[in-house]
C-alpha cells in the first residue's frame, strides 16, 4: 500500500465525487479511478459504492478513512522533521514528560517555545521518571521533565520549579469542606499512589512528608499514571497527595485542597544527556530557566 493511494482515497472519500477529487488532486479522473480500484484490490475489500450519480463509503471505507488521515498526518510530520534535520536550530525536539507536566510546565512553556523556535517540531511522549532516564541514555529522547532530584550517571538533572503538594479528595469527602487540610488529618485514609519503582522521588517525598506528620500512608491502590490516579480518587477508592500542577486535571467527583502550612513541596526538573545535549534541548532549558527564575 502506497501513501499516494491513501491520499487519492481520502480525496474521493471527502469529496464523495471522483470528478471533484480529481480536480482537487490535479489529475485526470480515469487514472484516479484506476488507482482506487488498485487499492481495493490490494486490500481485498470494496471501499466505495459507486453509481453513475453518487459515491458512498462502505463500512470498510469509513473505517479506513480515519486511519488513512492519521497515517498521512504522521507522514507529513516525519517529512517536516527530515526537512529540518541538518540545520543548526531545526529538527525535532523529543520530549519525555510526566503526566503532571502536561498540565503544568509544558502547558506554560510549549507555546513560547514554538513562538521563538517555529522551525523545531516538538514530539512529546508521556513517561515516568525512570523510563525517561533510560530513554535519555539510549538517545530515544532529547529532554525530560520529571520529579527527579538526585543526579544519575549519564544524565544531568537541573531543577527548574518548586511547587506545593495538595490533597486530592473525592468530592464527598468530609475534608473537602475545608480550605486547607492538615496533613495529619489524612492518617488512616486509603491512599492512591504511584509505585516507588515508577516514580521514586515522588513516592519518597510523599512518604517523608507523612512521616514528618507522624504517620505512614496506607497505600490501598497503585496507579500507573496521573490520569488513572485522579480517576481512582474521583471514584472514591481513596485519597492522594499530588503536585499543585495536577490540580489542572479535573474530573467530576474530585476536588483539590491545599495542605496546611508549612506544606511540603516537590520539584520539577529538566533532565538532559550528560554528554552533547541537542541544541534544541538547550534552547528549551534556557526558556524554562528564564520562565521560572527564582522558583527552583
Stretch 218-226: mean pLDDT = 90
Query: Mind listing the pLDDT tens digit for each residue in 119-144?
Result: 888 999 988 888 888 899 999 999 99
Residues paired with residue 163 on neighbouring β-strands, in sequence order:
266
Q: What is the pLDDT of residue 198?
A: 76
Provide the mean pLDDT of the chain.
88
Cα–Cα distance list, 25 to 6, 12, 30 (Å): 12, 10, 13
What was the pLDDT predicted at 88? 47
Instruction: Flag the least confident range among 42-51, 75-84, 88-97, 264-273.
Output: 75-84
DSSP 81: H
Residue 87 clears pLDDT 60, i.e. is over it: no
Whether the full predicted model's pTM is greater than 0.75, yes or no, is: no
Burial class (CB in 10 A: 0-12, 13-18, 19+), 118: exposed
Write the pLDDT tens digit of every residue in 13-68.
Answer: 998 989 898 998 888 889 899 999 988 898 888 899 888 778 898 988 888 888 88
Q: How far is CA 214 from the centre of its chain?
A: 36
Per-residue model confidence (pLDDT) at position 191 = 97
The 10s digit of each residue's pLDDT in 144-185 is 998 877 778 889 999 999 989 999 999 999 999 999 999 999
Name the DSSP letter for residue 239. B
The half-sphere exposure of 47 on its side-chain side, counting CA atoms within 13 A, is 28
Work out the number of other CB atoms within 10 angstroms of the CB of residue 283: 17
Q: In angstroms, rounded to a whole number, what is the distance separating the alpha carbons of residues 37 and 35? A: 5
Amino acid at each position: 500500500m502506497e501513501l499516494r493511494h491513501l491520499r487519492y482515497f481520502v480525496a474521493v472519500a471527502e469529496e464523495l465525487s471522483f470528478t471533484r477529487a480529481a480536480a482537487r488532486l490535479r489529475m485526470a479522473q480515469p487514472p484516479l479511478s484506476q488507482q482506487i480500484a488498485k487499492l481495493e484490490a490490494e486490500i481485498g475489500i470494496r471501499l466505495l459504492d459507486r453509481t453513475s450519480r453518487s459515491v458512498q463509503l462502505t463500512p470498510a471505507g469509513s473505517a479506513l478513512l480515519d486511519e488513512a488521515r492519521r497515517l498521512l498526518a504522521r507522514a507529513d510530520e516525519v517529512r517536516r522533521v527530515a526537512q529540518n534535520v541538518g540545520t543548526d536550530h531545526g529538527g525535532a525536539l523529543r520530549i519525555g514528560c510526566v503526566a503532571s507536566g502536561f498540565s503544568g510546565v509544558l502547558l506554560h512553556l510549549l507555546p513560547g517555545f514554538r513562538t521563538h523556535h517555529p522551525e523545531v517540531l516538538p514530539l512529546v511522549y508521556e513517561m515516568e521518571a525512570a523510563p525517561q532516564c533510560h530513554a535519555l541514555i539510549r538517545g530515544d529522547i532529547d529532554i525530560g521533565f520529571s520529579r527527579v532530584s538526585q543526579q544519575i550517571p549519564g544524565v544531568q538533572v537541573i531543577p527548574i520549579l518548586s511547587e506545593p503538594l495538595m490533597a486530592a479528595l473525592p468530592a464527598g469527602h468530609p475534608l473537602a469542606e475545608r480550605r486547607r487540610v492538615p496533613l495529619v488529618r489524612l492518617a488512616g485514609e486509603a491512599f492512591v499512589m504511584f509505585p516507588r519503582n515508577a516514580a521514586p522521588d515522588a513516592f519518597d517525598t510523599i512518604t517523608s512528608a507523612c512521616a514528618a506528620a507522624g504517620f505512614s500512608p496506607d497505600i490501598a491502590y497503585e496507579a500507573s499514571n496521573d490520569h488513572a490516579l485522579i480517576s481512582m480518587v474521583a471514584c472514591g477508592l481513596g485519597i492522594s497527595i499530588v503536585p499543585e500542577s495536577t490540580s489542572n486535571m479535573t474530573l467530576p467527583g474530585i476536588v483539590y485542597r491545599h495542605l496546611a502550612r508549612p506544606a511540603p513541596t516537590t520539584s520539577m526538573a529538566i533532565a538532559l544527556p550528560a554528554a552533547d545535549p541537542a541544541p534544541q534541548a538547550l534552547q528549551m532549558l534556557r526558556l524554562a530557566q528564564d520562565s521560572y527564575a527564582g522558583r527552583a
